[in-house]
Amino acid sequence: MTAPTTASRIRGCLLGGGVGDAMGAPVEFLSLTEIRAAFGPDGLAGYAPAYGRTGAITDDTQMTLFTAEGLLRTQALHEEEGVAHPPSILHRSYLRWLHTQGHPGQGIGDRKDPDGWLITQPVLHHRRSPGNTCLAALRSGRMGSLAERLNDSKGCGGVMRVAPIGLVAAHPLVLGVQAAAITHGHPSGYLAAGAFARIIAGLHAGGGLRESIEETLEVLGGWPDHEETTVAVRAAIDLADNGPPTPDRVEQLGGGWVAEEALAIGVYCALTAPDFRTGILAAVNHSGDSDSTGAITGNLLGALLGEEAIPSPWTDELEAHHLIAQIADDLIAAFVQGASVDSGRYPTW
């Protein structure tokens, strides 16, 4: 089988994450017993209605798109001035996401109304169960960092949004950590995000999944307080060696509400998946944060297998799939093809 192109991996990563997010959205707050009662003994087998429609994305995909926007604005500023500080620009992008969630004017420089193309997209202004930690941290008026931690949260809201960093950043683990630390101050909250971005980078470069995971764990071992994240990912690897995914096995890794568990479930489901469909359904049919574990698994499998591996009906029915694909194409143009970033879409103020 021909290896996916770089463009296919980028599109696959973002669209795959959106598909996994939308697949998990209807069952995010359901137990496995409740999922089986609603959808049968095998659980959810395809999209179901959530937030008033089928294929609805959640805050996971919304924040992922704003991460991509921040990276494109960083590149635009670097082209214009030769220097940029990516975490600060990502912070401002997350503040624009905050604006879409009903908190206008929350610290976006001196502007009452934020600018740019992404924030004009109506689909991103729907509230889809946004994480309280993300909302509180962004409303604080301060930017979280390793030096100034805003809280001790290790919720999965930091890890679920950083896949674009793995696709384009020169130092994905470092920037993944910095991006998550904007809102999540616990080491596992930001280290799991850095590890996820580093695994995505390995897949984007054409590496195998297990190879990318092992290389990431080796690098992660040099960071303080990595043990909780390392143990969780190692548990996922060991579980993957013991047979195909089942809900009971997924739940041995936790519920995915915290970052290291969400990453571990994504790693486990991706490692054991013979194809994209099987991996996504394993990632959402459990008692836990199904949209986030679905999104992480979709990012991983999309980057590994490429856009072509995603069942076309799932892509076609995905809310905002044209928007997600456009953002992916903008990343490809700027970071693969070397085109200048469109300053109309991604202004550099």
For every residue of 234-290, DSSP letters joined together read HHHHHHHTTSS--HHHHHHT--S-BHHHHHHHHHHHHHH-SSHHHHHHHHHSSSS-H
Burial class from Cβ neighbours inside 10 Å (0-12, 13-18, 19+) for residue 106 reads middle
Q: Is residue 229 part of a domain?
A: yes
Q: Is residue 189 part of a domain?
A: yes
**Average pLDDT by stretches of 10, the chain with 349 residues:** 94 99 97 97 97 98 98 96 96 96 67 82 96 96 97 98 98 98 98 99 98 98 98 98 91 98 98 98 98 98 98 98 98 98 90
Q: Is residue 68 part of a domain?
A: yes
Structural tokens at position 314: 């799932």
Give the separation between CA 68 and CA 168, rounded to whole angstroms.
9
Q: Is residue 103 part of a domain?
A: no
End-to-end CA distance of the chain: 45
Residue owning tokens 């700027």: 334
User: Does this model's pTM top 0.85?
Assistant: yes
Q: Is residue 288 part of a domain?
A: yes
**Confidence (pLDDT) at 348:** 87
Q: Is residue 234 part of a domain?
A: yes
**Confidence (pLDDT) at 110:** 47
**Confidence (pLDDT) at 105:** 58
What is the CATH classification number for the domain harbouring 183?
A: 1.10.4080.10
**Confidence (pLDDT) at 244:** 87
Structural tokens at position 138: 């962004």
Q: How many domains does the chain have?
A: 1
Q: Is residue 92 part of a domain?
A: no
Q: Is residue 154 part of a domain?
A: yes
What residue numbers bound the domain in which 239 lies?
6-85+143-335
